[in-house]
């Protein structure tokens, strides 16, 4: 049976209950997340076989993180351990016009120690058919970049599909590499591009608008420059405020442009990980459906994620398919 | 002073906090509910005298269930005890397009032991003027059916008003009786029908649509077939998603058709028991107001129930009347 | 550096979690509040220097209240202590069409003992340039009235700006003074009027409507009668229900009428203290911006307060300015 | 069937979780208590019929208090309501050498309004055979004294047994009456004295030591002075620290002195209400056992109360009898 | 690598926080347990490979139970699913002389459906070297007995070590089989007996006392009657009260009698599963140490379990070895 | 008025509720601590004026830490801010023979950036008469060592008393300095030594035993080598297990040896910060009492700290004096 592999940092998320601020709290809820592991867990919840590779602290916090992945059935045998602490992020959840705030403690985390010598890619990619990575990993540290590249080179050799969510965040790139060049280097090993106008403009030094016409043209130019890329998928979020968003998606698969209807998320429960749910939905969908249905599945999965607390998309395939079939009125499941 | 009697299973409800799933929880909140006892408690909160009859486990869970009823002033003296466990239901509360999920553990509960010999109806109905039952009870077990029927026969003899909420759920009828025939048998002892097109179509083998014209015609045919029934009341829910509903109601009282305006429930707190709040509002209303105002009262009570956590409608008469008088802007009570 | 002084009762707020009623709870959350101290804390959160004057119980509850003010950097050196208990209010938070309910236990609280001899106004007003008071204080007790008046007389002599939020609540005035006369007496020492048509009609025995024309005329008549008043600011709330409000504001500064756009608060987290956030925003704004921007700042601050649990507006100046600049879509702060 | 009546203030108890102080908390647990109502609830838990008389606030806090009594089956029909707030006490739970701290807010509570005209003693004492009162009630307010006396006079006329727990706390007597005289006045209507050397010394102006010899002599002198008193019962607490106590009791019933063994309470859960559990155990015991076994039952009930959170003794008769039979090893009940 | 297999019901445990009773709670904590799965998880925490076989409900509660096992690394591939609900037990945690109380809801649980045809023992026992069973399984239902026997027969054929914890609870045996005969039948396939005088007396119809001499003689007679049994291990609990126990153990391994010192558990956190921790420690120990050290390890593991909330022994091998080495003073691990 | 200054890292502590492990939790409680700031807060709770100097993260977590100090009245004006995250430690609280476990995330915290140039010691020490430091600060980072030394040099010049708690933890010294030499360098600026045999042996390369004779001799040799030191104070902990300790202390003040009785802490609530409470008690005591009473006060303060959750000693002077006066039975404070 085929298996998907993800690679990236696992973070502990710490946030006060409800919409409280740290200054008015003495209790926090914790979850584990990180963009790639969120994708892994979501695919596991769809019934897929997934393996996550990371470097995790060798203490009771790290043990807890690993048991968290195991709980969802994500394979953890390739995870290495470090005596540095696990990365942490602190979250204050906003509402209405108040944005959520995040503060990171990750620059010297266990993952920041990752080095190519620590991952046995040959063993890790055995029986795998899909590799998913994001732009966060090469942004974090040089070891992340080189380790990832080694994995991608092997993945390409072995003919794995490789999806990339470039997620460009300029604040992260601090160790001396140029983001555009580094991302470009890695995208050359990838086949599915999960990103929008902003990421393409960043990579191509272009100035495309958000129009569908520009998205198509941008996608064509991207594929032209990175010929391993075959398809681009874009998730479009229309925020009314921090508590109410609309989500839709569009794609250019080299042949046709398609776009979904807006899904109206009137009462957001938790916005973290909704992009990762989209990526996971897409990875699952592209293995089971045609491109358009895969994108619909991804958009529905992303919308559903807004209804779960924490970073994880708990929805299974049936629950996502229900949304696709238009059952969005939330009637009881008995 | 007159008194209302209800008969049915009391269940323990167990649900994670907020919108959490069981898989991400280690704490649950518990409430007690069950469609008939929800009606009883709501009427007690309106200031009515109510007695609930049931069979409850003879352990500390059952003690807690009984003390829960007592807390609201519902009389519990006719409740019998069993050494089987109390029925339980597990609830995961959805949001937006995610439906809530329920899983039951009730098939061998204390109530499933109920038998006619266990209830002294003669004593139980003393000083009572109204009997309320639902289609859940005969669906659960044969003893439930026969015990209920014995009570209804006596209620008819004594001239009690009898309201029925048929609540047809096909998944429940497992002990060998035919739902339609069994319900029909019991409806013959009832005077007020609290149900809509679905229930009437089920009982009459008809195919009415949801239009007002069809509702009137359906009601007429129902009353024709079950001549003890004098009035039908229907609650119409328009779900935008699991977090946002609109509620209105309509009636045919043998003479006229009336319908209320939609009440807009933009931020649902808890959807469980909102139908029971409607029934309770109606039972209270029909004893205190004309039919139309009773229905308005019932719809407002049902709308208010969506704002309380748990199965219980906590609103008192003043609070419901405020909604009737158009005070729906939620200004402070000081 | 200049300093603002506020004077009034500090209350402990006790409310069940979420939308629960007391009858279904065994846990409460507590906060400290009170209209004037809410203003003080909000100004401290804007970076202002503030001193609060009050009379607080001499027990561990009072110690906790004082440490709560200190936490925000509000100066507490002028607070006096009493062996009476701290005032308390109990709150049940409503939702949708269910109003929130408040019950007070304050009539014999520590603050009710306040007397002019207990406050050394000369020392307290040193280095202060602004005095804020509300109509709650003279309503509570005669000592409150006389103590406040003594402070206001001195404030006027020293040339402080004096803002008043008259907040007329007829239920409070129980100790024998006539509200209108007492408030009028005190308004004669004030320069900024933070109130609307209701308060002006009360003070002038007029019958103005809510129209902008009437607001201008009412403001003119108010300034005519109380010539120390230079400007009036009005906050207009349009409630859809208890969970969804719109907020805007308008002003007459003696020269021009201005009005802001509605801010749409689609998912209210906590409505308490939103008027106090407006007053605090205005006091801060009038010291840093022109009148119109000050009012915009106040309205944005008030809107933001609806997103924080408890009585306190936690927003800092940047967060409020973001709303003014139209950033109301709630994007993440990383 | 015979019934017991208790009369006294119902208080809301508010305490942080575990051993936290208010200064480090934002959540409180609440219970309802008060020495007389604690006795009432404990007797109800023993299966006795009990009625509690009090004056309770006419708000949602008072509604919750009444529903709390109802939950245990205590009859609440004779309770009157007031628009003053319910009395409150704040508790910080100590441990080891740290004492628990209590702060009261009761001086102007709903109960402080009680007046003889508010209680219909004739109706209230119907079918009652036992009246229990404590020294807290006459200490609180003059109306408490006079209302209680009216009840006691009638109780004596009707031949009820009357137990008194004098609980002398000098800090409470503030309204101008002399404690000793007032208590003496009321003890003249009582038949069972539940108190120790301190209380007797206070009443007789004597100086007895804690020795058994002195206890016997003190009891004799007490009975001599108050000839309605037939028996004295004393509970002796030997505290090792706030977390570890030993409890035993002794009695003089006019004929013989008896004393129980120490019960070793090595891990106190909650110390509040343990004296009330003793009184309740005694009242139940004296109606069902001989004097010595009644005292043993009372001591065991009091010991058990230390294992329940809150003010209430939840133990039933079987659970107390188990202790009497020496089953103190805490083996599972399955 | 060798693997251990366990077989038995998985139960959901529901208990109020701390020492609360259900009647004073609205929140419960939940855990999953069951004597055999407790053993499995404890062995997994020692680093052993373990597989648990059971029948679990096919709903979100069952999903949660399975993810709970997976979290600890227990293999769940052989678990079958049923549409009956998962078994539940309710627990009120006692203290001092108050015993804990348990109420079960398991008689018609998913496990009660287990049948030999549902378990593929051939596949399940592959690569396994040890089988652990308890007397609970054959007590629950006939299918449990027959399924277990089929597994034991195969285990014996394959030469697995088989440990049995007979745990005789007479209240469970309700389906018509004779406990003694059924247990005897199954013990014939077992090699390690984890039980004491009570269980031996039950099986042999003898009347041995708790003395060491009797334990040796009883063990000899047991081994005589059940010659597959090679060693007996007994855990002796000396309860001071529900909060304070002492634990020691003794053994007869066919050649020598040994006994450990008492471990003093002065502040019990949770007593559930402490016998299972003993069994798990023994199974781990007998594979890694000599008999005496294995027994010491088991006793220390059992003592440590008393310090963890829930049913699970979280201790790893180092933590248990620390106790063996006399480090019982609880110094910090940094 | 004189003022005490402390200098050191502020850490966020994160621990599951009760005795839970991270692996069984999803909620944590957080506190702020750190050995020097614990001393500062405890002195503030004794009514002393204290200023804490540190380097704290410039995010909402750091804001919360500062507000936490302000809450207790500790002056925070000299605290500098950094864009590195606040140090964190994770704690699992043990019980009985299970030790508590701590895992740190502090090596690249905001405090690790501290440099002499960041602290204006001249301003910071104005009006100060006492400087307290510990061996943790020079162990953490070179900047900590140099910044501290700069402060100590100035403190000596200005004639401040300087207390040192050397707290030698070998695991911390990682940046290349030799612990013994570095500590010796700094002790040359100190006057009060708060440490025991272990620390003295470490500093003098001696091998003293724990006997009182050896303590006296060790103290003499220490004072000989570091002639600025005038007095040594030693706290002796006798752990029965993680839940039960005894505490006493002894001293050599250059003239006489004294020793206190053991205080028996039978039910530890929280053991963190108990050494800091001793140091704080000593600093307060030496300014208000003679040496022996100061030491008694310190030991009592330390014992009391074991009864508070979190790192902070909440006890005030009266509460400590009560223990000194032998009131250790934990009677109520009303």
The domain ranges of chain A are: 3-233, 234-334
Q: Which CATH number fits domain A3-233: 3.40.718.10, 3.40.50.300, 1.20.1080.10, 3.40.1190.20?
A: 3.40.1190.20
Residues contacting C266, CB < 8 A, separation 6+: A96, A240, A241, A243, A244, C244
Tell me the pairing of strands C11-16 and B161-165. unpaired
Q: Is the minimum CB–CB distance between A23 and chain F shorter than 8 Å?
A: yes
Q: Which of F22, F64, F84 sits opposite A22 (nearest CB)?
A: F64
Question: How confident is the model over C102-129, as pLDDT tens digits?
Answer: 999 999 999 999 999 999 999 999 999 9
Write out chain D residues lying below 8 Å of C31, CB-based. Answer: 26
Q: What is the reported pLDDT for C168?
A: 80
Helix spans in chain F (H): 35-45, 60-71, 121-124, 136-140, 142-158, 179-187, 197-204, 212-225, 274-288, 291-305, 317-324
Q: What is the reported pLDDT for A1?
A: 53
Write out chain F residues lying below 8 Å of B24, CB-based. Answer: 26
Q: Do C269 and A99 touch (CB under 8 A)?
A: no
Q: Do F334 and D102 touch (CB under 8 A)?
A: yes
Q: Do C70 and F68 touch (CB under 8 A)?
A: no
Write out chain E residues lying below 8 Å of D31, CB-based. Answer: 24
A vs F, Cβ pairs < 8 A, gives: 80
Closest residue, chain E, to F20 (C-alpha): E309
pLDDT for residue B1 is more than 80 = no
Question: How confident is the model over C38-87, as pLDDT tens digits?
Answer: 999 999 999 999 999 999 999 999 999 999 999 999 999 999 999 999 99
Q: What is the reported pLDDT for C1?
A: 53
Q: What is the reported pLDDT for E330?
A: 86
pLDDT for residue E1 is more than 60 = no
pLDDT for residue B230 is more than 70 = yes
Mean pLDDT of E124-128: 94
Give Cα separations from B192 to B132, B133, B139, B233, C50 (angstroms): 9, 11, 20, 8, 65
Confidence of residue C2 (pLDDT cuts 50, 70, 90): confident
Q: Do C71 and F68 touch (CB under 8 A)?
A: yes
Q: Is the minimum CB–CB distance between B97 and chain A shorter than 8 Å?
A: yes
Q: Do B71 and D73 touch (CB under 8 A)?
A: no
Q: What angle is formed at CA B302 by the lines to CA C268 and CA B171, rounded to 5 degrees?
A: 110
Spatial distance between the Cα atoms of B54 and B80, rounded to a whole number of angstroms = 6
pLDDT for residue E309 is more than 70 = yes
Q: Do D25 and C30 touch (CB under 8 A)?
A: yes
Partner chains of A (3+ C-beta pairs under 8 Å): B, C, D, E, F
The segments of chain D whose pLDDT lies below 70 read 1
pLDDT for residue E123 is more than 90 = yes
Q: Which of F23, F242, F244 sits opposite E314 (nearest CB)?
A: F23
Region B3-324: CATH code: 3.40.1190.20
| DSSP secondary structure of E199-215 | HHHHHHT----SSHHHH
Distance from CA of F27 to the nearest CA of B (A): 10
Q: Do F71 and C73 touch (CB under 8 A)?
A: no
Q: Do C30 and D31 touch (CB under 8 A)?
A: no
Distance from CA of B129 to the nearest CA of A (A): 34
Question: How confident is the model over E59-70, as pLDDT tens digits?
Answer: 999 999 999 999
The segments of chain A whose pLDDT lies below 70 read 1
Q: Do C71 and F73 touch (CB under 8 A)?
A: no
Q: Is the minimum CB–CB distance between F19 and chain A shorter than 8 Å?
A: no
Confidence of residue B278 (pLDDT cuts 50, 70, 90): very high
Closest residue, chain E, to B64 (C-alpha): E23
Q: Is the minimum CB–CB distance between A70 and chain E shorter than 8 Å?
A: yes
Distance from CA of D103 to the nearest CA of F (A): 6
Whether residue B53 contacts residue B128, with contact meaning beta carbons closer than 8 Å, is answered with no
In 3D space, the residue among A178, A188, A184, A323 whose CA is nearest the CA of residue A262 turns out to be A323
Residue D112 tokens, joined? 């402080």
Q: Which of A19, A97, A247 has the highest number of chain C CBs within 10 A, making it the mutation to test binding with C? A: A97
Q: Is the minimum CB–CB distance between C105 and chain D shorter than 8 Å?
A: yes
Q: What is the reported pLDDT for F1?
A: 53
Q: Which of D307, D314, D327 sits opposite E95 (nearest CB)?
A: D307
Residue F3 tokens, joined? 């003022």
Closest residue, chain C, to E20 (C-alpha): C26
Write out chain B residues lying below 8 Å of A309, CB-based. Answer: 18-20, 24
**Angle between helix E60-71 and helix E35-45 axes, rounded to 10 deg:** 40
Q: Which of B102, B104, B239 sits opposite A329 (nearest CB)?
A: B239
> How does the average pLDDT of chain D come out, rounded?
96
Partner chains of C (3+ C-beta pairs under 8 Å): A, B, D, E, F
Write out chain D residues lying below 8 Å of B70, CB-based. Answer: 70-73
Write out chain E residues lying below 8 Å of B88, CB-based. Answer: 85, 88, 105
b/e burial code for range B248-257 (CB count within 10 A of at least 16 → b): bbbbbbeeee
Closest residue, chain A, to C17 (C-alpha): A18
In 3D space, the residue among E247, E318, E8 whose CA is nearest the CA of residue E137 turns out to be E8
Residue A108 tokens, joined? 């010297």
Give the up-direction half-sphere exposure of residue E18: CA atoms within 13 A in the CB hemisphere: 18
Closest residue, chain E, to F245 (C-alpha): E329
Burial class (CB in 10 A: 0-12, 13-18, 19+), C15: buried
Q: Is the minimum CB–CB distance between F240 and chain E shorter than 8 Å?
A: yes
Number of other CB atoms surrounding residue F209 within 10 Å: 12
Whether residue A10 contacts residue A86, with contact meaning beta carbons closer than 8 Å, is answered with yes
Q: Which of A266, A269, A332 sits opposite B102 (nearest CB)?
A: A332
**Angle between helix F274-288 and helix F291-305 axes, rounded to 10 deg:** 150
Q: Do C307 and A96 touch (CB under 8 A)?
A: yes
Q: What is the reported pLDDT for B150?
A: 98
Closest residue, chain E, to D327 (C-alpha): E97
Question: How confident is the model over E166-181, as pLDDT tens digits?
Answer: 998 878 888 888 899 9
Mean pLDDT of C220-232: 98
Spatial distance between the Cα atoms of C239 and E118, rounded to a whole number of angstroms = 60
Q: Is the minimum CB–CB distance between E70 and chain A shorter than 8 Å?
A: yes
Q: What is the mean pLDDT of each successive set of 10 residues along chain F, which is 334 residues long?
A: 91 97 97 98 98 98 98 97 97 97 95 96 96 97 97 98 91 85 96 96 96 98 98 97 97 97 97 97 98 98 98 97 92 86
Q: Which of E265, E307, E325 has the highest number of chain F CBs within 10 A, making it the mutation to test binding with F? A: E307
CATH topology of domain C1-113: 3.40.1190
Q: Which of E268, E310, E331 sits opposite F239 (nearest CB)?
A: E331
Q: Do E99 and D330 touch (CB under 8 A)?
A: yes
| DSSP secondary structure of F266-314 | -S-S--TTHHHHHHHHHHHHHHHS-HHHHHHHHHHHHHHHTTSSSS---
Closest residue, chain B, to D76 (C-alpha): B73
Q: Do C303 and A242 touch (CB under 8 A)?
A: no
Number of other CB atoms surrounding residue F168 within 10 Å: 18
């Amino acid at each position: 049976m085929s298996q998907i592999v993800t690679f990236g940092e696992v973070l502990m998320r710490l946030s006060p209950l409800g919409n409280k601020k740290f200054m008015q709290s003495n209790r926090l809820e914790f979850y584990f997340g990180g963009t790639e592991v969120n994708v892994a867990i979501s695919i596991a919840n769809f019934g897929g076989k997934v393996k996550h590779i990371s470097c995790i602290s060798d203490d009771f916090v790290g043990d807890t993180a690993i048991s968290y992945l195991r709980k969802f059935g994500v394979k953890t045998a390739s995870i290495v351990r470090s005596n540095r602490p696990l990365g942490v992020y602190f979250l204050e959840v906003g509402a209405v016009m108040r944005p959520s705030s995040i503060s990171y403690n990750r620059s010297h985390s266990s993952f920041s120690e990752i080095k190519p010598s620590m991952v046995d890619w040959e063993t890790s990619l055995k029986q795998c058919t899909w590799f998913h990575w994001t732009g966060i990993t090469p942004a974090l540290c040089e070891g992340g970049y080189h380790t990832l590249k080694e994995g991608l080179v092997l993945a390409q050799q072995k003919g794995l599909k490789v999806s990339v969510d470039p997620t460009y965040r300029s604040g992260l790139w601090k160790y001396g590499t140029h983001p555009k060049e580094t991302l470009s280097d890695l995208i050359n090993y990838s086949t599915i591009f999960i990103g929008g106008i902003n990421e393409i403009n960043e990579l191509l030094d272009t100035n495309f608008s958000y129009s569908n016409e520009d998205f198509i043209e941008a996608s064509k130019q991207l594929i032209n420059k990175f010929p391993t890329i075959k398809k681009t998928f874009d998730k479009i979020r229309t925020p009314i405020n921090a508590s109410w968003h609309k989500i839709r998606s569009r794609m250019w698969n080299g042949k046709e442009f398609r776009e979904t209807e807006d899904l109206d998320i009137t009462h957001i429960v938790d916005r973290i990980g909704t992009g990762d749910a989209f990526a996971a939905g897409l990875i699952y969908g592209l293995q089971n459906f045609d491109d358009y249905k895969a994108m619909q599945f991804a958009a529905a999965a992303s919308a559903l994620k807004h209804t779960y607390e924490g970073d994880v998309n708990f929805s299974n395939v049936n629950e996502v398919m229900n949304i696709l079939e238009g059952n969005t009125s939330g009637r009881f499941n008995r």
